[in-house]
Amino acid sequence: MGSFFYMSNNPIGFFDSGIGGITLWKEVHNLLPYENKIYLADSKNLPYGTKSDKEIERISFENSEFLLKKECKLIIVACNTATTKCIDKLRKKFEIPFIGIEPAIKPAALNTKTGKVGVLATEGTLGSNLFYKTSNKHANSVKIIEQSGKGLVKLIEQGKMDGDKIKNLLKKYLQLMINENVDKLVLGCTHYPLIIKAISNILPETIEIIDCNKAVAIQTKKVLETYRIINLNKIESENQFYVNSENSILGKIIDNRFNITKI
């Protein structure tokens, strides 16, 4: 565990390309309400999904350094794209623990009855080595149908979560899964739970939608306990949000008692 010296009341840091990681932040906040938290919405670099490995690496290093300057004791990479492309490098470079999120293929593959699982994720995630390795592990027992959600993140960040544009894109992307008879759809991008209504309106009820935000929150608690840095003080936590571009809709999706700082 090295010379790890942070205190339990230091904050947990989060970053994503914008508001997507808030879906994970919410699960962590529900499970760990007394933990102080700092969320960085890196909307100036949006979207991550189409960027190269090198770019994602550079951006992720920069975001982590920002959070470390704020003395975060642990960082949650609240983004599938950044996790699958570079979490191993972040763990190597920085001393504090990193938690990531990647498409929940395993639970979907273990529970499918049709033997077919759909994964909706960014191009970056689907093209990553980590995704390739994980999906390959299950390739013998199940058929995985991959679909990139090109264009979805941009619309979500513009607040267009229920309009015709997003509905038409989703119809196109999900029809393939429906035709293939999948019975599990894995949401492999933290932005997608924000459009779960639009997604479930298109999918037949027989298809279960899976995301692993809850599982990642549970994993975070375990890691905090292992490192003995869980905050045992039962006092209201401080929750700070930072955003680095003007046009973010972050304010619309978090509780207005929380402060947002533009950096």
> In sequence order, what are the residues at sequence separation of 6 or more whose Cβ sits closer than 8 angstroms to the Cβ of residue 216?
24, 27, 28, 76, 99, 100, 101
Note whether 24 and 213 are within 8 A (CB): yes
Instruction: Report the C-alpha gap between 12 and 45 in whole angstroms.
Output: 22
Using CB under 6 A as the binding rule, the residues of this chain from 123 to 142 that contact ligand DGL are 125
Instruction: Report the C-alpha gap between 60 and 66 in whole angstroms.
Output: 10
Using CB under 6 A as the binding rule, the residues of this chain from 41 to 80 that contact ligand DGL are 46-49, 79-80
Nearer to ligand DGL, 109 or 212 (CB): 212
Instruction: Report the C-alpha gap between 98 and 61 in whole angstroms.
Output: 12
Q: Is 72 a catalytic residue?
A: no
Residue from the set 191, 199, 207, 212 that interacts with ligand DGL by CB under 6 A: 191
Q: Residues binding ligand DGL: what is the number (CB under 6 A)?
A: 16
Nearer to ligand DGL, 195 or 229 (CB): 195
Edge-to-edge, what's the strand order for the sheet holding 239-243?
98-99, 74-77, 12-16, 37-41, 239-243, 259-262
Q: Does 199 bind ligand DGL (CB under 6 A)?
A: no
Note whether 248 and 19 are within 8 A (CB): yes
* Tokens describing residue 233: 């003080």
- State the nearest-atom distance from the C-beta of 236 to ligand DGL, in Å: 28
Residue from the set 122, 128, 213, 248 that interacts with ligand DGL by CB under 6 A: 122
Note whether 78 and 241 are within 8 A (CB): no
Residue nearest to ligand DGL (CB): 49
Nearer to ligand DGL, 79 or 195 (CB): 79
Instruction: Report the C-alpha gap between 14 and 67 in whole angstroms.
Output: 8
From 15-23, 32-40, 112-120, 203-211, give the range in contact with ligand DGL by CB under 6 A: 15-23
Among 72, 79, 86, 212, the one annotated catalytic: 79
Q: Is 189 a catalytic residue?
A: yes
Residues that bind ligand DGL (CB under 6 A): 16-17, 20, 46-49, 79-81, 122, 125, 153, 189-191
Active-site residues, by number, are: 79, 189
